[in-house]
């Protein structure tokens, strides 16, 4: 079976959605990414990634209620799917195997 490989931003966005206690929309995902990584992200890049993850079946979405602060527009809320949870576990396992394959002391020899 072929393993799913996600891009860095896809993995980060999926992790942020998975870590959320409720369904989330783009702006809070972007803000959390910026806090956790110290990098800047545009809301359009995050939205594109959310939609791509939904197309891949790793997220589901629903439309929330309209709010006055958004000029009556409704938010698209995203949630992790079972397939999204499985791909995160697969990625975690792969990364652990890669880290464990680094010979003991190799990073220290490099001054790290």
Q: Report the CATH number that the domain containing residue 39 is assigned in CATH.
A: 1.10.10.10
85 lies in a domain?
yes
Asked if the structure places residue 100 within a domain, the reply is yes
Residue 3 domain-assigned (yes or no): no
Model confidence pLDDT, tens digit, residues 89-105:
999 999 999 999 998 88
The domain tally of the chain equals 1
Q: pLDDT tens across 3-32, in order?
A: 778 999 999 999 999 999 999 999 999 999
- What does the pLDDT read at residue 2? 66
Residue 39 lies in a domain: yes
pLDDT at residue 110, rounded to an integer? 82
1 occurs within a structural domain: no
Task: Enter the pTM of the model.
Answer: 0.85
Q: Let me know if residue 17 belongs to a domain.
A: yes
84: how many CB neighbours lie within 10 A of its CB? 23
User: Would 2 be classed as within a structural domain?
Assistant: no
In the prediction, which pLDDT does 73 show? 77
Q: Write out pLDDT tens, residues 43-82.
A: 999 999 999 999 999 999 999 876 767 667 788 999 999 9
Residue 31: burial class (beta carbons within 10 Å; 0-12, 13-18, 19+): middle
Domain enclosing residue 23, as ranges: 8-109
Report pLDDT for 46: 97
**Which of 36, 25, 33 is closest to 79 using CA atoms?**
25
DSSP for 67-110 reads -GGGTTPEEEEEEE-HHHHHHHHHHHHHHHHHHHTSPTTHHHHT
């Amino acid at each position: 079976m072929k393993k799913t490989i996600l891009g860095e931003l896809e993995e980060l966005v999926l992790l942020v959605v998975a870590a959320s206690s409720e369904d989330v929309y783009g702006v809070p995902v972007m803000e959390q990414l910026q806090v956790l990584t110290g990098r800047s992200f545009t809301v359009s890049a995050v939205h594109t990634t959310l939609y791509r993850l939904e197309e891949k079946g790793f997220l589901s979405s629903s439309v929330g209620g309209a709010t006055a602060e958004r000029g009556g527009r409704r938010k698209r809320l995203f949630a992790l799917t079972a397939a999204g949870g499985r791909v995160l576990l697969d990625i975690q396992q792969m990364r652990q195997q890669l880290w464990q394959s680094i010979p003991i002391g190799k990073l220290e020899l490099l001054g790290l």
